[in-house]
Each structure stands twice: as C-alpha cells, then as structure tokens.
Structure 1
C-alpha cells in the first residue's frame, strides 16, 4: 500500500480440487496444536505458518516419491540438479503431488521462488518471514496434469532470490519431492495432455515474454498456463492500488487495471485477469501473515487459457510465436515475472488433422474511472472495467468435425481512497474472470465447460504518529481477501461432477514502527476458512491465530 514510507514495505528487516476417485488425502504438514490462552501481544517467537487449503486428494494406491531438490537458498543463483523420473508405475500414474517443505530462522524478507522441471514451470511460490528461533512451512500442489514432463528424466531448476549478510541472516532450507500414485485396479491412469511444453527460445521484449511453439500436425486441442506475478519490489507488486501520476499518490503506475494477454503470431488468442497476491510482508504489516499467509502466497496458481480455436493456426508443423504481455502496466513492461506452459492433445493415431480458425471478436477493455487528488493531498480512484473476447475454430478429429468456441468475460470494480499524506489507505475491489468453452459435434448436444473465478480485497492501512514518541508510528492493517472458484461442465448435454471452492482470509494487525526493537509492540488476529464442495462430498478447514499462536484448527470432511 503506501509507498511514501518505503521502509514499511520491507517489514522483514524491521519486524520481530477433489478427484472423484480419491479416498484419502496426502499427508498435511499444515495442521497442528492450538492454545486457548494466547499471549496478550506478540513475542519474539510464534507458531510456524499453516494454510487452510485442502491437502491434495489422492487415491488409495501404492506410491513412490522422487526427491527433486534439497538446498539452502542464500543468493540469487538458479540451482540446477538432475531430475530422475519415477519408475514404480508400469501402468501409468493416477496422481502426482508436489510437496515443498522449508525452514528458516533469523531475520529475512519475504522472497519469491520458482521451480522448473525439464524447462516447464511447475511451481511459483513465496516464502514466509521467520522468527529468530526459526519456523517451518509446507505447501503442496496437484501436478497430475504435468505427468507427460514429470515422467521424463532431465533437469530441474529452482531459484529463491535471497540476500544473506550480517543483518539479514535467514537461509531458506528447502526440500521438494513429488509423490506419484500408481494406476492400479479400478484406479485408472490420469487423463492428461499428450505433450506439455515450455515456450522455445524465450526472450523478453519490453517486458513481454516471447517464444515459440511447434505443435504437431496431429494436434486437436491446445491450452496454456501462464504464471504472472507482479514483483521486483516496485509498484507493480501492489498494482491493485496504483493511481495515475496526476494524483500525487506514491504508486503512480496508472489505473489499477491489469490483464494478461496471450497472442499467437501477433493475434490476440486469450485474455485473463491476474490475481494480486499478497506476499508475507505485504500491506505494510508482517504480523498479519506470520501465522496464516494470504491465500495463494505459497502456491500461486497459473492463469488458464483454452487456445483450441487456434489449432488451425498452430498444427502446421511450423514454429509459431507466442507472446505473453501485461496490459495496463508501465509502458516499459517492467515489474512482472512471466512463464508459460503449453499443453497439447493429439490424434491417437498421429494423423494429420485439418483445422481452421473461424473468427475472433473482442475490443480492448472498456474502463470508466473517476480520479481525484494532487500533491500530498487526499485522493481517490474509482474504476469499473469490462473486457470480453471470443474465438471459434474447428478441427476434423476422429469423431468428426469439432467446433470449439471460447468465451472470456473479465470485470473489475475498484475504489481506492487515501487521506492527506496517505496516513490512511482504503481499498474495496472485486474481480471476476469467466471462461466458457463450448464444443459442438454433428448430431450431438454440445459439451460445455465453465470456469468462474471471483476474488476480492477490502481493507485499510493507517500510519499514524504514536503519542509521546517522536518519529514513531502506529501501523494498523485490516484486510479481508476472498478467492472463489466454480467449475461446472456437461458432456453431450449430461451434467458432470462439479467443484466449488471458497478461500477467505480476514485479519487485523497493529505494530509500533520507528522505535528500537526491544520497544516494539504488536498484536494480531487472523482467520482463514477454506471450503471445497463436489457432488457427494464437502470439505471445510478453519484456522484462527492470535498474537502468533493458533487458537483454532478444525477440519471437516477430509
């Protein structure tokens, strides 16, 4: 939030989906004891962070584990290690679950991390901030859709950019493993794309990620995953509170609208809204995140694009340019980290498939805004944005001609206000991203897959002089974040099992800034509730923490 006080944006240095076959869940390291008598204020130690997200459901079949990496990250080097594919699944694998376990102690900032295997992005993450005594953390991710690349030996590459010196002493000790659950008996091998590919020859052009894909002539479906994070310590890390320079606001990166576009050979092929993740030093208050990180902070989900209408452009056996760009940000494209993963389904017999892109339609985002403020005075940005894009194409498959239409609808409503000197910042923002994919075949009812994402942020920061102590300030952050996802589909008109998840964080924290460390005081109360519901099952996990210690950790329906 307020960049006018840059020191408070570096708090570490200054601060103390349900599979139908699943019958169990992978082991979760994010559950633990609670206390009924938390301390009155924060002390020098606290519980390690936990998340309420559901452990990845897995089948009740034998599994084997591959260790990807064990390393202590203390610089910005990319650590490359040989990757050995699993060998236990002679009939294939039903599930693959990546697990990251880490530990850190001392003083350290929150850091961004990434993991690639055989050139394919597998995980984008951020780290917690430690106590002097040390903490541990755990995250896991369903990577079943990446089995085509994970079942090939090669190389892994991981980085967690970090600086370690006499002041910032925390080294991030990390172990990454992948558990592979074999297909056995009634548990069949997972249905995935035939090829999972990184972009070839990637380069950066004015902040855009540019590379190529060479799809086989037998391609019949193509999708993309794009990891897009505002980062680098500049204003794009806080892009959802950006304001035009005319307002005098401390993050003058224009209106707070961003979208991530995918272009094929220079033609728009898909658009999506990025999520403004909050890292564990975010919103000027590490005490808010010591126990419960913001939703998605440890496992940042990729944006998803169905590019099947463009099969007719891609499946000629030639290299085609794929460009990923962030619209609405700085003109030089700075402040974003981008990675793309392409998934390709092919004809089972390898036949060349005729295909054609029929049409695309859509205009740039329609944005309405009202802006007030100048210099160091109070100001506001009120904005409503809407964007739609549609693409249609056909492929002559073994089943006959399949015509696919992808409709994307994006909306963003935001109101951001601040007082004189930015002593108080308020944000109330909502985003919605809906993708509808309709596949039509002759003499059949259409198949429709709908994915609707909705997320929100509502809260404030105050930065007020502390009575009686010169140059000391009371910082208070109050914030509610919600991320909801709904997946529904029909196959030839027949409804399929759906999945609905909700992920809500609420919390308030206050701390005294600008005094010697031994005089700092802080208090915090935070809560996270995660729910998942599919046909016939429901899951709910509630966490609450007060002043560094968990007071509630309740699961239902595992």
Structure 2
C-alpha cells in the first residue's frame, strides 16, 4: 500500500510507498523523490494551476444569475482521526423554490504549497455526498485547482431547509510532508425566468435520502469496504407516494486496491475484476463497474502535471434504477440497501444517495413487480486475461396520479483485461449499457433514457518510460412525453500521458456533442507548460441517433 492521502487507512499512510507497494509493481512514487527528479518550474513564485479537462457549465438560455454563496472556507493539515470541517447551511435567500433552479454548480477551489501526497476529499450536505475528488499533488512553489460540478439534481436538497455542510480532506502533515490544503466551497445558482416545474420523473428528485455514515464522527462520511466479504448497509423507509427511485453510488478505491486493474490473474488472488453491487433486502437491484480513475499521484505524478487524469478531480458516480422494485418497498417499513465490492482488497470507500420522486396528486402509490432476471456474473480467466459480463433486468408497475406506468430497467456489462509482463502492460476495456423505459397501459412512452459507456485504458510501463492512454466515452439518448422532446448527447474524452526520461507531456481531446450545444477542446502539454490549447463551442451540434 502506498503512503498517499487517497489511501484512507491511517497507520498505513505513515509507511513510505516503496516499502508497502506490491513487489512486482511500482505504481507510486514519493513526492520527495519526484521533487528531486523534477523540481518546480524555475523562478516560479506564484502557484502552478492544475486542471482536469472538462466542459464549461452553462445555464439554459434565459436563466438569471448566478447567485453565489460561500458555503465553507477551511484549512486541512493533520486531519486523520479528526472530524470533518462543518458549516451550518440554510438555503440562500435567492433560492425561493427548487422548481425554479435551472442550474446549480458546486465549486471547489483549493491551494497547497510544500511536499505532499494527493489526498481524497468529500463534500456532504445533510449527509448526502455532493462531490468526491482527489487533491492535486503540490509542487514546492504551490498548486491551485478548481472543480465545478453540476448538482442541479440536488435542487430539492438545497431548498429543503437548515442542514450541515461537511468537508473532509484526509491529510497527513509532519516534518517531511508539509503541504496544508486550503479550500473554499461555493454554491452558484441560476434560475428560470418563469418558475415552472420540469416534467415528472425526469426533473430533479423531490427528496434525496443520504446513505452514508452520520455525523458526528472522526472520519469521512463514506463507508469502508476492506475485503470481498464486507457488506455495508443502511435502512430506509420510503414515503408512501414514491413513484420513481434511483440509487446514485459514490465509489473510490485506495490502498492495496488503488490499482486493482493491474492485478494479474493467478499472481494476485483477487485478480483485476471489480464490481460494486447494490442490493435491496438482499435482492440484487443493479451494479456499477467502476471507471479506473488514476489519482494525481498515481503511477508517476509527472504524468498528471499540470493536466490531471480523467475523473481525478471530480470522480464519476453511478446510477442504479430501482423503480421496478418499489412493489416491495411501499409498505411503510424500513428496507435495507446494501453495498459490496466483488473481489475487493483493502480499501474501497462507498456511499450513496437515494433519489425519490413523489406523487403530488396522492398520498399513496401502489406498485408491483412484473419480471426480474439477474444471473450471476459470467467470468473467465487465463494466465494473462480476464473477461466478465453481467445482465440485470427488472420490470415493475407503479400506479400514481400520473396513471399506471410500467418501468423496465436493464443493465448490461462487459469487461476485458489483458495483463502482461507482470503488470507492466495492461489493456482493459469496460463497456456498460443502462436503459430505462416507462410506458402506460396503452403503450404510450412516458420516458426512455438509454446510456452506453466505454472505459478504455492502456498502461505501457518500463524502466525508463511510462505511457497511459485513457478514455471515457458516453452516449445518451432520451425520449418520451416527459423528456421535453428527443435529446442526444455524446462525450468522447481521450487522454495520452507519457513520461520518458526527462521528457513528459499530455495530449487530450475532449469532444461533447448534444442536441442543444457542443464543446470541443484539444490541449497539449510539455513539462509544466501548455504548448497548445484550442477550444470551440461552435462545432456542429450532434444529431439524434
């Protein structure tokens, strides 16, 4: 296990990386060694800006704002076994109603100077996690970075009333690791000129139920999963007028499983395959096959300066539709939501938020299960290759004031990992498809959302060079009478980072196309400098495909 703040086990964080990393892989380097090999830019007094390539967040046309509120400003030095930083939260005066919010953005802005590992951090409101990310691994002259996350889906939580904002940065400061993280958390709100409610079911949820550890505690609010048999759970009693339910899963991997995708079949008992499962009262509701995020100190920090790895500053979340299972949950009793990680090794951090849509036209809805299919994972392993596939499908009906609507939710997954040269070369691809379709008794389509994701990853490492080619590809098509017309969006985010002797750099292409807009950015770095950076919002809008 490496001594990194993205490793959330206190005692092991005190051990230098070289003494605890797997003997056949060196995927962590000490910041002290990196500083000696590649010091900060010459004569650099201002901090260096690091960033993750992403598209700018724009409010819908005709919106007013922003209305900006500083939620918390804090410093994070030695934080192990200490409580999160907290601040009282009440809805900003400009927020009159959740239905009026057209865009909500949570901004994290932080700085650090000195010698330090990268560290994991989380932001929670009322126990519901809003943002999880890795900090930048600082330079001696300092580093600054910002994250902007769209949290419009939490509009009801933002407007709900008085609550507590909690921020936890797991950090270690001593005579060797001197970096203290200073962070501001700000909320930016935009509003519709006319506060009309978006269509049902596809609007932000009416209620957000946190599935995390509650305050007070001396740690982050996430649950810890330390092995393949660990199961963490929470009990929830659903409102009797619920008509749609989605579990949003937050997950990150640290310690001995930070580089789970490099595990070699046979040589590593748990192999390279990982699956996060979501169960309701013991029944598999769905799964998340994680994107292989590489944190800012992972493999070689020089790969991620100043452009960081995909998802490193803003870790992805994963949605599991549980609407078809509402038939067993609308009885006024508490039901157990449980999370586990297949083949896990110490340590995974998991929590979740339950998004619930409530029927304004009734106090009670009725529901029932029509069909359910969830065979075991189909997996195969050879000496150098691991493959796996999974399908989960459930259909159920819900009768509300909107009618009797039947929802089918399907997930399919495919995983292929080839590992050669004792982990020096890894070629992995995960493909996930999630589909949700809701129709009434006459066959009228109320909404359909079909999403396909692909996570390609290629690691090629040797004694004098390391190259990581990383990608996130996602296509979503939404349609139906509640979907405000057919909508399409596609993202192709490809990054190639390399270090060879004294030469290092990143080439990244980010292309987003949608029915209502697009964004294209090509950026290239060499050392600490950006040598080419071209962006455009004038590209051809994506068609409905």
* Superposition TM-score, scaled by structure 2 size: 0.85
- Secondary structure of 1:317 counterpart: coil
1:208 Cα deviation from its structure 2 partner: 2.4
1:79 Cα deviation from its structure 2 partner: 1.2
Matched, 1:455 2:455: yes
The question of whether the paired residues in 2 share the 8 Å contact of 1:12 and 1:110 is answered with no
Distance, in Å, in 2 between the alignment partners of 1:63 and 1:53 is 20
1:187 Cα deviation from its structure 2 partner: 7.9
1:298 aligned to 308, 313, 329, which one?
313
The question of whether the paired residues in 1 share the 8 Å contact of 2:479 and 2:486 is answered with yes
Indicate the residue corresponding to 1:94 in structure 2: 102
The question of whether the paired residues in 1 share the 8 Å contact of 2:362 and 2:400 is answered with no
Indicate the residue corresponding to 2:57 in structure 1: 56
Indicate the residue corresponding to 1:407 in structure 2: 410
1:359 Cα deviation from its structure 2 partner: 2.5
C-alpha RMSD over aligned residues: 2.3
1:395 aligned to 395, 398, 412, which one?
398
- Secondary structure of 2:67 counterpart: strand
Distance, in Å, in 1 between the alignment partners of 2:318 and 2:27 is 30
Matched, 1:71 2:74: yes
The question of whether the paired residues in 2 share the 8 Å contact of 1:260 and 1:272 is answered with yes
1:556 Cα deviation from its structure 2 partner: 0.2
1:275 Cα deviation from its structure 2 partner: 1.2
What is the number of equivalent residue pairs in this alignment?
Answer: 489
Indicate the residue corresponding to 1:239 in structure 2: 260
Structure 1 residues 123, 201: closer, same or farther in 2, change over 3 A?
closer
1:400 Cα deviation from its structure 2 partner: 2.1
Indicate the residue corresponding to 2:431 in structure 1: 432
Deviations 1:388-440 (A, max 9, x none): 11111111122321111111100001111115xx6xx0011100111111212
1:384 Cα deviation from its structure 2 partner: 1.5
Matched, 1:359 2:380: no
Q: Which runs of 5+ in 1 are unaligned?
A: 17-40, 372-380, 464-473, 512-521
- Secondary structure of 1:335 counterpart: strand
The question of whether the paired residues in 1 share the 8 Å contact of 2:224 and 2:347 is answered with no
Counting only pairs closer than 5 Å after superposition, residues 276-295 of structure 1 correspond to structure 2 as 276-283=292-299, 285-295=300-310
Distance, in Å, in 2 between the alignment partners of 1:187 and 1:288 is 47
Distance, in Å, in 2 between the alignment partners of 1:432 and 1:359 is 25
The question of whether the paired residues in 2 share the 8 Å contact of 1:216 and 1:317 is answered with yes
Indicate the residue corresponding to 1:267 in structure 2: 283
Deviations 1:497-526 (A, max 9, x none): 111111111111135xxxxxxxxxx32111
Counting only pairs closer than 5 Å after superposition, residues 201-240 of structure 1 correspond to structure 2 as 207-231=230-254, 233-234=255-256, 236-240=257-261
1:384 aligned to 377, 383, 387, which one?
387
Indicate the residue corresponding to 1:487 in structure 2: 476
Structure 1 residues 201, 185: closer, same or farther in 2, change over 3 A?
closer
1:257 aligned to 257, 260, 273, which one?
273
Indicate the residue corresponding to 1:107 in structure 2: 115
Q: Which runs of 5+ in 2 are unaligned?
A: 3-20, 215-222, 539-545
Structure 1 residues 7, 315: closer, same or farther in 2, change over 3 A?
same
- Secondary structure of 1:500 counterpart: strand
Indicate the residue corresponding to 1:549 in structure 2: 529
Indicate the residue corresponding to 2:219 in structure 1: none
Distance, in Å, in 1 between the alignment partners of 2:213 and 2:369 is 25
Structure 1 residues 207, 67: closer, same or farther in 2, change over 3 A?
farther
Indicate the residue corresponding to 1:149 in structure 2: 157
The question of whether the paired residues in 2 share the 8 Å contact of 1:52 and 1:542 is answered with no
1:301 Cα deviation from its structure 2 partner: 1.4
Distance, in Å, in 2 between the alignment partners of 1:107 and 1:542 is 31
1:80 Cα deviation from its structure 2 partner: 1.7
Structure 1 residues 201, 524: closer, same or farther in 2, change over 3 A?
closer
Indicate the residue corresponding to 1:523 in structure 2: 503
- Secondary structure of 2:462 counterpart: strand
The question of whether the paired residues in 2 share the 8 Å contact of 1:110 and 1:279 is answered with yes
Distance, in Å, in 1 between the alignment partners of 2:90 and 2:269 is 44
1:63 Cα deviation from its structure 2 partner: 2.5
